[in-house]
Protein backbone atom coordinates (compact mmCIF):
# COMPACT_ATOMS: atom_id res chain seq x y z
CA UNK A 1 0.00 0.00 0.00
CA UNK A 2 1.16 3.54 -0.64
CA UNK A 3 2.17 5.86 2.17
CA UNK A 4 -0.43 8.31 0.90
CA UNK A 5 -2.43 9.51 -2.06
CA UNK A 6 -0.25 10.17 -5.04
CA UNK A 7 2.77 8.21 -3.88
CA UNK A 8 4.10 4.85 -4.98
CA UNK A 9 6.83 2.83 -3.27
CA UNK A 10 9.03 0.36 -5.13
CA UNK A 11 11.68 -1.95 -3.67
CA UNK A 12 14.50 -2.92 -6.03
CA UNK A 13 16.72 -5.76 -4.79
CA UNK A 14 20.16 -6.65 -6.20
CA UNK A 15 21.33 -9.89 -7.85
CA UNK A 16 20.23 -12.93 -5.80
CA UNK A 17 23.15 -15.38 -5.84
CA UNK A 18 22.12 -19.05 -5.71
CA UNK A 19 20.42 -20.62 -2.70
CA UNK A 20 21.66 -18.01 -0.21
CA UNK A 21 20.22 -15.21 -2.39
CA UNK A 22 16.84 -16.91 -2.66
CA UNK A 23 16.78 -17.69 1.06
CA UNK A 24 17.67 -14.08 1.92
CA UNK A 25 14.82 -12.80 -0.23
CA UNK A 26 12.17 -15.20 1.07
CA UNK A 27 13.29 -14.79 4.70
CA UNK A 28 13.53 -10.98 4.73
CA UNK A 29 10.69 -9.91 2.42
CA UNK A 30 8.21 -9.89 5.33
CA UNK A 31 10.44 -7.56 7.32
CA UNK A 32 10.95 -5.35 4.25
CA UNK A 33 7.21 -5.18 3.61
CA UNK A 34 6.56 -4.19 7.22
CA UNK A 35 9.22 -1.48 7.11
CA UNK A 36 8.72 0.00 3.63
CA UNK A 37 5.16 -1.00 2.59
CA UNK A 38 6.14 -1.40 -1.07
CA UNK A 39 3.55 -1.35 -3.85
CA UNK A 40 5.90 -3.33 -6.09
CA UNK A 41 8.96 -5.51 -5.45
CA UNK A 42 11.60 -6.01 -8.17
CA UNK A 43 14.49 -8.48 -7.78
CA UNK A 44 17.39 -9.26 -10.09
CA UNK A 45 17.40 -13.03 -10.70
CA UNK A 46 20.21 -13.52 -13.24
CA UNK A 47 22.24 -15.53 -10.68
CA UNK A 48 19.34 -17.12 -8.82
CA UNK A 49 19.76 -20.73 -10.02
CA UNK A 50 22.35 -23.29 -8.98
CA UNK A 51 26.01 -22.28 -9.31
CA UNK A 52 24.84 -18.67 -9.43
CA UNK A 53 24.11 -18.80 -13.13
CA UNK A 54 20.81 -18.13 -14.79
CA UNK A 55 17.32 -18.97 -13.67
CA UNK A 56 14.91 -21.89 -14.04
CA UNK A 57 11.12 -22.21 -14.06
CA UNK A 58 10.99 -23.54 -10.45
CA UNK A 59 13.19 -20.64 -9.35
CA UNK A 60 10.97 -18.10 -11.09
CA UNK A 61 7.87 -19.63 -9.52
CA UNK A 62 9.50 -19.70 -6.07
CA UNK A 63 10.54 -16.03 -6.21
CA UNK A 64 7.13 -14.86 -7.45
CA UNK A 65 5.39 -16.88 -4.73
CA UNK A 66 7.79 -15.52 -2.13
CA UNK A 67 6.79 -11.97 -3.00
CA UNK A 68 8.62 -10.70 -6.07
CA UNK A 69 6.40 -8.84 -8.54
CA UNK A 70 8.99 -8.61 -11.31
CA UNK A 71 12.32 -10.42 -11.88
CA UNK A 72 14.98 -8.58 -13.88
CA UNK A 73 18.19 -10.15 -15.15
CA UNK A 74 21.34 -9.64 -17.19
CA UNK A 75 24.21 -11.39 -18.95
CA UNK A 76 23.79 -14.68 -17.06
CA UNK A 77 20.07 -15.03 -17.83
CA UNK A 78 20.55 -17.88 -20.31
CA UNK A 79 23.00 -19.75 -18.06
CA UNK A 80 20.74 -22.75 -17.40
CA UNK A 81 19.38 -25.22 -19.95
CA UNK A 82 15.87 -24.53 -18.69
CA UNK A 83 15.82 -20.87 -19.65
CA UNK A 84 13.03 -21.28 -22.23
CA UNK A 85 10.80 -22.87 -19.60
CA UNK A 86 11.70 -20.08 -17.19
CA UNK A 87 10.38 -17.46 -19.62
CA UNK A 88 7.32 -19.59 -20.38
CA UNK A 89 6.59 -19.68 -16.63
CA UNK A 90 5.89 -15.95 -16.35
CA UNK A 91 5.89 -12.68 -18.29
CA UNK A 92 7.18 -11.09 -15.06
CA UNK A 93 10.66 -12.45 -15.88
CA UNK A 94 12.61 -9.91 -17.97
CA UNK A 95 15.80 -10.10 -19.99
CA UNK A 96 17.71 -7.04 -21.19
CA UNK A 97 15.79 -5.26 -23.97
CA UNK A 98 18.85 -4.98 -26.21
CA UNK A 99 19.32 -8.74 -26.69
CA UNK A 100 18.42 -10.02 -30.19
CA UNK A 101 14.70 -10.52 -30.85
CA UNK A 102 15.31 -14.27 -31.26
CA UNK A 103 15.96 -14.52 -27.50
CA UNK A 104 12.97 -15.50 -25.35
CA UNK A 105 11.34 -12.92 -23.15
CA UNK A 106 11.31 -9.15 -23.38
CA UNK A 107 12.88 -6.16 -21.70
CA UNK A 108 9.88 -4.52 -20.07
CA UNK A 109 6.61 -5.28 -18.34
CA UNK A 110 3.74 -3.04 -17.33
CA UNK A 111 2.19 -3.89 -13.97
CA UNK A 112 -0.71 -2.53 -11.98
CA UNK A 113 -0.18 -2.47 -8.23
CA UNK A 114 -2.84 -3.59 -5.72
CA UNK A 115 -3.42 0.12 -5.04
CA UNK A 116 -4.23 0.66 -8.73
CA UNK A 117 -1.05 2.39 -9.91
CA UNK A 118 0.41 1.46 -13.31
CA UNK A 119 4.20 1.08 -13.46
CA UNK A 120 6.67 0.02 -16.12
CA UNK A 121 9.68 -2.06 -15.11
CA UNK A 122 12.50 -2.13 -17.67
CA UNK A 123 15.74 -4.14 -17.99
CA UNK A 124 18.66 -3.13 -20.24
CA UNK A 125 22.30 -4.19 -20.42
CA UNK A 126 25.50 -2.24 -20.92
CA UNK A 127 28.16 -3.10 -23.47
CA UNK A 128 31.43 -1.72 -22.09
CA UNK A 129 33.70 -4.60 -20.95
CA UNK A 130 30.86 -7.08 -21.49
CA UNK A 131 28.57 -8.01 -24.42
CA UNK A 132 29.87 -5.53 -26.99
CA UNK A 133 27.73 -7.20 -29.70
CA UNK A 134 24.45 -6.19 -28.06
CA UNK A 135 22.33 -3.46 -29.60
CA UNK A 136 22.84 0.06 -28.23
CA UNK A 137 21.09 0.33 -24.84
CA UNK A 138 20.75 4.11 -25.20
CA UNK A 139 18.91 3.87 -28.53
CA UNK A 140 16.92 0.93 -27.17
CA UNK A 141 15.75 2.95 -24.18
CA UNK A 142 14.94 5.97 -26.35
CA UNK A 143 12.81 3.84 -28.63
CA UNK A 144 11.02 1.97 -25.82
CA UNK A 145 10.26 5.18 -23.90
CA UNK A 146 8.20 6.59 -26.77
CA UNK A 147 5.84 3.67 -26.18
CA UNK A 148 6.07 3.40 -22.38
CA UNK A 149 5.31 7.06 -21.80
CA UNK A 150 1.93 6.55 -23.50
CA UNK A 151 1.20 3.99 -20.76
CA UNK A 152 2.67 5.52 -17.57
CA UNK A 153 5.06 8.14 -16.24
CA UNK A 154 6.29 5.71 -13.58
CA UNK A 155 9.21 3.90 -15.21
CA UNK A 156 11.87 1.95 -13.27
CA UNK A 157 15.03 0.69 -15.01
CA UNK A 158 17.48 -2.01 -13.92
CA UNK A 159 20.57 -1.20 -16.02
CA UNK A 160 22.83 -4.23 -15.86
CA UNK A 161 26.30 -2.99 -16.69
CA UNK A 162 29.94 -3.30 -15.72
CA UNK A 163 31.31 0.22 -15.72
CA UNK A 164 30.33 3.14 -13.53
CA UNK A 165 30.74 5.48 -16.51
CA UNK A 166 28.24 3.68 -18.73
CA UNK A 167 25.76 3.57 -15.85
CA UNK A 168 26.22 7.27 -15.12
CA UNK A 169 25.96 8.07 -18.81
CA UNK A 170 22.65 6.25 -19.06
CA UNK A 171 21.36 8.01 -15.94
CA UNK A 172 22.04 11.48 -17.37
CA UNK A 173 20.60 10.40 -20.72
CA UNK A 174 17.38 9.38 -18.94
CA UNK A 175 17.22 12.00 -16.16
CA UNK A 176 13.71 13.44 -16.14
CA UNK A 177 12.44 10.81 -18.58
CA UNK A 178 12.13 7.91 -16.12
CA UNK A 179 11.42 7.61 -12.39
CA UNK A 180 14.48 5.61 -11.38
CA UNK A 181 17.57 3.85 -12.68
CA UNK A 182 19.35 1.30 -10.52
CA UNK A 183 22.45 -0.62 -11.54
CA UNK A 184 23.18 -4.31 -11.16
CA UNK A 185 25.89 -6.78 -12.31
CA UNK A 186 29.00 -5.77 -10.34
CA UNK A 187 27.56 -7.34 -7.15
CA UNK A 188 29.26 -4.56 -5.15
CA UNK A 189 27.00 -1.77 -3.84
CA UNK A 190 27.80 1.88 -4.41
CA UNK A 191 27.02 4.70 -1.97
CA UNK A 192 25.96 7.31 -4.54
CA UNK A 193 22.17 7.03 -4.31
CA UNK A 194 20.51 10.36 -5.02
CA UNK A 195 17.88 12.14 -7.08
CA UNK A 196 19.33 13.64 -10.27
CA UNK A 197 18.59 17.28 -11.23
CA UNK A 198 15.52 16.47 -13.34
CA UNK A 199 13.91 14.03 -10.89
CA UNK A 200 15.25 10.55 -11.66
CA UNK A 201 16.37 8.48 -8.66
CA UNK A 202 19.74 6.84 -9.25
CA UNK A 203 22.26 4.43 -7.76
CA UNK A 204 25.19 3.06 -9.76
CA UNK A 205 24.90 -0.47 -8.32
CA UNK A 206 22.64 -2.13 -5.78
CA UNK A 207 25.14 -4.85 -4.87
CA UNK A 208 24.13 -8.49 -4.54
CA UNK A 209 22.32 -10.70 -2.03
CA UNK A 210 24.75 -13.41 -0.98
CA UNK A 211 27.22 -14.63 1.61
CA UNK A 212 28.96 -11.55 3.04
CA UNK A 213 32.43 -13.09 3.10
CA UNK A 214 32.60 -14.14 -0.53
CA UNK A 215 33.78 -12.83 -3.88
CA UNK A 216 30.63 -11.53 -5.59
CA UNK A 217 28.74 -14.38 -3.88
CA UNK A 218 31.25 -17.10 -4.81
CA UNK A 219 33.60 -19.06 -2.57
CA UNK A 220 36.75 -16.98 -2.04
CA UNK A 221 39.27 -19.78 -2.54
CA UNK A 222 37.67 -20.96 -5.78
CA UNK A 223 38.07 -17.48 -7.29
CA UNK A 224 41.46 -16.69 -5.75
CA UNK A 225 42.88 -19.95 -7.02
CA UNK A 226 42.13 -19.01 -10.62
CA UNK A 227 43.39 -15.44 -10.13
CA UNK A 228 46.73 -16.60 -8.76
CA UNK A 229 47.43 -19.78 -10.73
CA UNK A 230 45.55 -19.01 -13.98
CA UNK A 231 44.49 -22.65 -13.91
CA UNK A 232 40.83 -23.61 -14.42
CA UNK A 233 38.85 -23.56 -11.18
CA UNK A 234 35.16 -24.24 -10.74
CA UNK A 235 33.50 -21.33 -8.98
CA UNK A 236 31.12 -22.41 -6.24
CA UNK A 237 28.41 -20.34 -4.55
CA UNK A 238 29.46 -19.55 -0.97
CA UNK A 239 26.71 -20.73 1.37
CA UNK A 240 28.24 -19.99 4.79
CA UNK A 241 27.03 -16.94 6.70
CA UNK A 242 26.78 -14.20 7.63
CA UNK A 243 24.69 -13.16 4.63
CA UNK A 244 23.66 -9.78 3.28
CA UNK A 245 20.64 -8.49 1.34
CA UNK A 246 21.06 -5.27 -0.61
CA UNK A 247 18.72 -3.01 -2.53
CA UNK A 248 16.93 0.33 -2.46
CA UNK A 249 13.51 1.71 -1.60
CA UNK A 250 12.26 4.36 -4.03
CA UNK A 251 9.24 6.60 -3.45
CA UNK A 252 7.75 8.51 -6.36
CA UNK A 253 4.97 10.98 -7.15
CA UNK A 254 2.30 9.22 -9.22
CA UNK A 255 1.15 12.47 -10.85
CA UNK A 256 4.54 13.55 -12.18
CA UNK A 257 6.49 10.27 -12.29
CA UNK A 258 9.37 12.01 -10.49
CA UNK A 259 11.21 10.39 -7.62
CA UNK A 260 10.67 11.70 -4.09
CA UNK A 261 13.33 9.66 -2.30
CA UNK A 262 15.78 6.80 -2.68
CA UNK A 263 17.05 4.92 0.38
CA UNK A 264 19.78 2.28 0.32
CA UNK A 265 19.02 -1.01 2.10
CA UNK A 266 21.68 -3.33 3.50
CA UNK A 267 20.62 -6.03 5.95
CA UNK A 268 23.14 -8.43 7.43
CA UNK A 269 21.57 -11.72 8.49
CA UNK A 270 23.59 -13.85 10.90
CA UNK A 271 21.14 -16.75 11.24
CA UNK A 272 19.88 -17.39 7.72
CA UNK A 273 18.29 -20.81 7.28
CA UNK A 274 18.96 -22.26 3.81
CA UNK A 275 16.76 -25.22 2.91
CA UNK A 276 14.05 -26.17 0.43
CA UNK A 277 11.45 -24.15 2.34
CA UNK A 278 13.47 -20.92 2.23
CA UNK A 279 15.27 -21.39 -1.09
CA UNK A 280 12.94 -23.62 -3.11
CA UNK A 281 13.98 -26.18 -5.70
CA UNK A 282 16.36 -25.71 -8.58
Residues noted as catalytic: 76
Taking the least distance from each CB to Fe ion, the nearer of 177 and 185 is 185
Q: Which residue is nearest to Fe ion (CB)?
A: 15
Taking the least distance from each CB to Fe ion, the nearer of 75 and 171 is 75
**Size of site (CB under 5 A) for Fe ion:** 6
Could you tell me the smallest distance in angstroms from the CB atom of residue 181 to Fe ion?
16
Taking the least distance from each CB to Fe ion, the nearer of 15 and 269 is 15
Q: Does 106 bind Fe ion (CB under 5 A)?
A: no
Alpha carbon distance 188, 81 (integer Å): 27
SS3 of residue 124 by DSSP: strand
CA angle 142, 144, 145 (to 5 degrees): 65
Contact window for Fe ion (CB under 5 A) among 9-17, 228-236, 237-245, 267-275? 9-17
Query: Dihedrals φ, ψ of 209, to 5°?
Result: -115, 110
SS3 of residue 204 by DSSP: coil
Taking the least distance from each CB to Fe ion, the nearer of 20 and 74 is 74
Alpha carbon distance 204, 149 (integer Å): 24
- Select from 15, 158, 238, 239 the one that contacts Fe ion (CB under 5 A): 15
Could you tell me the smallest distance in angstroms from the CB atom of residue 18 to Fe ion?
11
Residues in region 168-207 near Fe ion by CB under 5 A: 185
- Cβ partners under 8 Å of residue 211, min gap 6: 17, 20, 217, 237, 238, 239, 240, 241, 242, 243, 244
Could you tell me the smallest distance in angstroms from the CB atom of residue 43 to Fe ion?
12
Residues in region 31-90 near Fe ion by CB under 5 A: 46-47, 74-75
**Distances from the Cα of 230 to the Cαs of 59, 215, 227, in angstroms?**
33, 17, 6
Which residues of this protein are in contact with Fe ion, per CB under 5 A? Answer: 15, 46-47, 74-75, 185
Amino acid sequence: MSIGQGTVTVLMIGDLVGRPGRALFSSLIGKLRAQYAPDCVVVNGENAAQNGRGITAPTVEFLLKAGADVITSGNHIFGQKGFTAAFAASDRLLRPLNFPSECPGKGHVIVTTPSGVTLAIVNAQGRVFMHEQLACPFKGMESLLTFLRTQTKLIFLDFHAETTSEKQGMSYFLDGKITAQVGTHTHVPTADERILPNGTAYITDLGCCSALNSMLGMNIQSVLSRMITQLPSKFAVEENGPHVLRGVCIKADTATGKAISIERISIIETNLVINQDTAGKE
